[in-house]
Amino acid sequence: MPTGVALRDPRRQLFDAAARVLVRDGASELTSRSVTAEAGVAKGVLHRHFADFDAFLTELVLERIAQVEDQAEALRNATGTVVDNLTSALTTGFDPVAVSIVVLVIARDELRRRLREAGTAHFPLVGEFTAVVAGYLAAERDRGRIAPDADVDVLAPTVIGAAHLQFTEQQGGPAAAEAVRKVVTTVLAGVTTAQR
């Protein structure tokens, strides 16, 4: 990039580039060089905005966690059936970028350490999403759409884990969405009540 050309939003540009590299090439190919090359900027741009590459990755994951927290609000306000609402939330929440970020978090010890220092769940991103689903199921239990004795703290990680496997195996798309609906329906089969 020529000297003196201002970047609109360099952090956003770098985060978007990292997401593209993660989805296309995988966590093992995500480096500061691959991110800056994908963003079309000099390598120094990343280091001007972040202390080091792990600081950049930490901010990338924290931004995705904030999106999960935003999704919690949308889930609380959803008007469909419990199965429809959860299927939609899981399909949106486990997009290809999120699945790739989970792999990245697993692969990088220093990233996990920094995320824990930042106050994330023990398993960053997945833990926050599990808490969102548990909170949603508890609210639905209070509304009478889930059985009063339903253990949402067991149901939430069960549905999250099984749904995540569907996206990992099927790489998104309609087949994965239908597989997730089947997972949600099966996991909640004994606890959902008749819904309008």
Which CATH number goes with the domain that contains 92?
Answer: 1.10.357
Q: What is the pLDDT of residues 5-22, one digit of tens each?
A: 455 789 999 999 999 999
| Chain position carrying tokens 């939330």 | 89
Q: Where would I find the H helices in the chain?
A: 10-25, 32-39, 43-49, 53-76, 82-93, 96-107, 109-117, 126-143, 152-170, 173-187
Residue 169 has pLDDT above 80, yes or no: no
Amino acid code (one letter) for 82: V
Domain assignment present for 25: yes
153-158 average pLDDT score: 96
124-153 average pLDDT score: 94
Residues 76 and 107 placed together within one structural domain of the fold: yes
Q: What is the band of 107 on the pLDDT scale with cuts at 50, 70, 90?
A: very high
What CATH number has the domain bearing residue 14? 1.10.10.60
**How many domains does the chain contain in total?**
2
Q: What is the pLDDT of residues 34-88, one digit of tens each?
A: 999 999 999 899 999 999 999 999 999 999 999 998 889 889 899 999 999 999 9
Report the half-sphere exposure of 1 (CA within 13 A, side-chain side): 15
Mean pLDDT (the chain) is 89
Domain assignment present for 145: yes
Identify the domain containing residue 30 by its residue range. Answer: 8-49
Q: Which two tokens stand for residue 159?
A: 């549905």
150: CB partners within 8 A, 6+ apart: 137, 141, 191
Residues 137 and 78 placed together within one structural domain of the fold: yes
Question: How far apart, in whole angstroms, are the C-alpha atoms of residue 110 and residue 24?
Answer: 23
Three-state secondary structure of 87-118: HHHHHHHCCHHHHHHHHHHHHCHHHHHHHHHC
Residue 62: C-alpha distances to residues 18, 130, 174, 187, 193 (Å): 14, 16, 28, 29, 36
pLDDT of residue 5: 46
Residues 79 and 156 placed together within one structural domain of the fold: yes
Rounded to 5 degrees, what are φ and ψ at 146? -125, 145
